Amino acid sequence: MFFDKNAETLPRSELEALQLERLKKTAALCYEKSPLYKNKLDEAGFPPDKITSLADLKHIPFTVKEDFRDNYPFGMFTAPMREILRLHASSGTTGKPTVVGYTRKDLDTWSDCVARLIVAVGANGDDIAQVAFGYGLFTGALGLHYALEKIGASIIPISSGNTEKQVTLMKDFGTTVLVSTPSYALHIGETAKEMGVGNDLRLRLGLFGSEGCTAEMRGQIEKSLNLFATDNYGMSEVMGPGVSGECEYRRGLHLNEDHFLPEIIDPVTGETLPEGEKGELVLTTLTKEGLPVLRYRTRDITVLTYEKCECGRTHARMAKTTGRTDDMLKIRGVNVFPSQIDSVIMVIGEVAPHYEIVASREGNHDTLEVRVELIDSSVLDSYAQLEGLRDKIRHNLRVVLGIDVKVSLVEPKSIARSAGKAKRVIDNRPK
């Protein structure tokens, strides 16, 4: 199903012509209205009038998260404040939040972009959608909210948290679509089971995103909530949700390429990589007015394919991200991505899908501990059973990671649940 079939199935030559025209416009807007971009482009000796093809993109300098922080709060905006209708912000682990602003047209484009993605997985006007993302400065809740409104769904703007109430309303209101982070969906599923209402729910579709979700974790969510789980991706700096999302075939996430121009670069050298190679995703906005970005380094690692999808969409697809360049833990010289650990834990039947990863330093030696929650605490009474389970997890982790990891099995319910993005990594090593 399509929200905007024409745009979503544009032949590639027409799409590229449109992208080039929009790229020129966006670069000119940045150059004219933003001292930051004027300086960047002048320093690179590449003012916007030099752009003649999409290949010229590589001459444009990158934009990074620090640019937002350095220009806090509104220094990156290219529209006057009276034209900015909405502000959102995302707080990182350090420093000032990144602040983003939207004009009326930006808000309209945003809800169109998200609407495309949710219609692509079958959401429609008959749905009752429970938005369990946190409403507020985070782009997730309002991003999905206005798109659901646009397609005519009935929205329950419950926000995140208060999980038992989530389950009660889900049952009483006959919620058919759940919108949340995948980790919160797992927690909702667990709570529904404890409340004994698992079989009374009418959920059919999960619109998840905002954090990684391995295939194994998706399997867990689908089993516990009995729904079709789909993934959508985005970031505040570029728009919020609505950058890319799966269609019903779930073979990668379609990028709204008429609004965002994607590239894959080598995160170390910054060189653009050819199609099919894995690297860091870089995005340029093509239609934004309030806060356009040129070559924003997302830090997310993925791979793009331009092959036409079975659903008929022509827009490039990105693979589910395998992690962020800044998520990666370097343990004794080996690169470890939390998603690798996730894929092991999620398929071990005796443990819950809740875990923590703790990196420490002993002398000059980095160590990694994975704390996993048991489903049944009686295992703790049997040394042989406990050791057997610990050995199995340790072995499976060694196969995937290539290094030895300490595995600790902890009491059921002892690892904190998250109502938003799960924070699974604790890095105690000195900086």
- The number of residues that bind ligand DLL (CB under 6 A) is 20
Distance (Å, whole) CA 419 – CA 212 = 15
Residue 231 binding ligand DLL, by CB under 6 A: yes
Residue 262 binding ligand DLL, by CB under 6 A: no
Nearer to ligand DLL, 139 or 407 (CB): 139
Q: Which stretch binds ligand DLL (CB under 6 A): 205-213, 254-262, 357-365, 377-385?
A: 205-213
Write down the least CB distance from residue 107 to ligand DLL, Å. Answer: 15
Distance (Å, whole) CA 279 – CA 263 = 9
Nearer to ligand DLL, 51 or 141 (CB): 141
Residue 90 binding ligand DLL, by CB under 6 A: yes
Query: Residues 89, 151, 153, 235: which binds ligand DLL (CB under 6 A)?
Result: 235
Write down the least CB distance from residue 233 to ligand DLL, Å. Answer: 4
Residue 211 binding ligand DLL, by CB under 6 A: yes
Nearer to ligand DLL, 189 or 252 (CB): 252
**Cβ-closest residue to ligand DLL?**
209
Distance (Å, whole) CA 94 – CA 194 = 37
Nearer to ligand DLL, 20 or 114 (CB): 114
Query: Residues 111, 220, 230, 232: which binds ligand DLL (CB under 6 A)?
Result: 232
Nearer to ligand DLL, 191 or 210 (CB): 210
Show contacts with ligand DLL in window 280-309 (CB under 6 A). 298, 300
Q: Which stretch binds ligand DLL (CB under 6 A): 167-175, 227-235, 263-271, 282-290?
A: 227-235
Query: Residues 189, 206, 209, 252: which binds ligand DLL (CB under 6 A)?
Result: 209
Q: Which stretch binds ligand DLL (CB under 6 A): 41-49, 76-84, 204-212, 268-276?
A: 204-212
Write down the least CB distance from residue 43 to ligand DLL, Å. Answer: 26
Write down the least CB distance from residue 288 to ligand DLL, Å. Answer: 15
Distance (Å, whole) CA 56 – CA 215 = 37
Residue 160 binding ligand DLL, by CB under 6 A: no
Query: Residues 140, 279, 353, 420: which binds ligand DLL (CB under 6 A)?
Result: 140
Q: For Cα atoms 314, 63, 76, give the angle at the middle one, nearest 5 degrees.
A: 105
Nearer to ligand DLL, 207 or 397 (CB): 207
Output the six-digit token pair for 1.
Answer: 């199903």
Q: Which stretch binds ligand DLL (CB under 6 A): 25-33, 56-64, 139-147, 269-277?
A: 139-147
Query: Residues 210, 284, 285, 314: which binds ligand DLL (CB under 6 A)?
Result: 210
Residue 206 binding ligand DLL, by CB under 6 A: no
Residue 163 binding ligand DLL, by CB under 6 A: no
Query: Going by DSSP bridges, is the β-strand pair 296-302/279-285 parallel, antiparallel, or unpaired?
Result: antiparallel
Residue 184 binding ligand DLL, by CB under 6 A: no
Query: Which residues, including other chains, have CB under 8 Å from residue 100's CB and lie 6 or more apart?
Result: 87, 88, 89, 90, 139, 236, 237, 240, 291
Q: What are the residues binding ligand DLL (CB under 6 A)? A: 90, 139-140, 143, 209-212, 231-236, 240-241, 298, 300, 321, 324
